[in-house]
A and B are shown apart, each in its own frame.
Chain A
Amino acid sequence: GNSVTQMEGPVTLSEEAFLTINCTYTATGYPSLFWYVQYPGEGLQLLLKATKADDKGSNKGFEATYRKETTSFHLEKGSVQVSDSAVYFCALSKAGGGADGLTFGKGTHLIIQP
């Protein structure tokens, strides 16, 4: 079945540091890939997505590239801010309609210190 593995947290960085959160997946076919973010006290929000190999999703300074050869979708940001502190979830869904609910990783808690 489908599965998503992401790096364990918490990840603690200083403000303006470079961020990478690793995510790899196992799936049949060509899934769509997502990063969701959960800020303290708030619900899950879509951060970015990519629907086919070599696509790059980007939003709010975050980027992730769909790498089919390495089955990865690592999240990166060049300079993090305190406001980026949150839990980040990597997820996939089967493409093409039908049963397409999300399969999530366990989440990575990111803490940015001033």
Chain B
Amino acid sequence: EAGVAQSPRYKIIEKRQSVAFWCNPISGHATLYWYQQILGQGPKLLIQFQNNGVVDDSQLPKDRFSAERLKGVDSTLKIQPAKLEDSAVYLCASRPTGGTEYFGPGTRLTVT
């Protein structure tokens, strides 16, 4: 079974630029999550989707971050404009109904 796929794996941008990350969850997993992991900290939940609907986005900085999951499969997370403090690894995870979360390899973002 293929795992959660994410791209790109690495991205370097300047502050005030825009960036987008892509996630392809495990086939059949209805629930998808985006987490932000700052160096030296545990992952922090940004947003949770159930199929193509948002379940929880209470910790998403909505002034600059947006996410969508069209058709209930792939998802994109966008940052516009980026700040230095957005430097982190962005993790995507998916979960089957009644199961546990599977994490992708993450996208490492550096904002200079």
Chain A contact residues, CB within 8 Å of chain B: 4, 34, 36, 42-46, 49, 89, 91, 98-107
CB-contact partner of B100 in A49, A99, A103, under 8 A:
A49
Q: How many A-B residue pairs have CB under 8 A?
A: 48
Contact A45 to B103, CB < 8 A, known contacts A99-B55, A101-B48: yes
CB-contact partner of A102 in B45, B55, B58, under 8 A:
B45
Separation of A44 and B45 alpha carbons in the complex (Å): 14
> B103 contacts A101, CB within 8 Å?
no
Chain B 77-112, CB-CB to A under 8 Å as 1, else 0, gives 000000000000001010000001111111000000
> B45 contacts A43, CB within 8 Å?
no
In the complex, the chain B residue whose C-beta lies closest to that of A4 is B42
Contact A101 to B45, CB < 8 A, known contacts A43-B106, A44-B103, A45-B103: yes
Separation of A34 and B102 alpha carbons in the complex (Å): 13
A-B contact pairs, 18 of them (CB 8 A): A43-B103, A44-B43, A44-B91, A46-B102, A89-B43, A91-B42, A99-B58, A101-B33, A101-B35, A101-B56, A102-B35, A103-B45, A104-B44, A105-B42, A106-B41, A107-B40, A107-B41, A107-B42
Contact A102 to B40, CB < 8 A, known contacts A43-B106, A44-B91: no
> A102 contacts B101, CB within 8 Å?
yes
> A106 contacts B42, CB within 8 Å?
yes
- Residues of A with C-beta under 8 A to B33: 101-102
Separation of A101 and B106 alpha carbons in the complex (Å): 17
- Residues of B with C-beta under 8 A to A101: 33, 35, 45, 48, 56
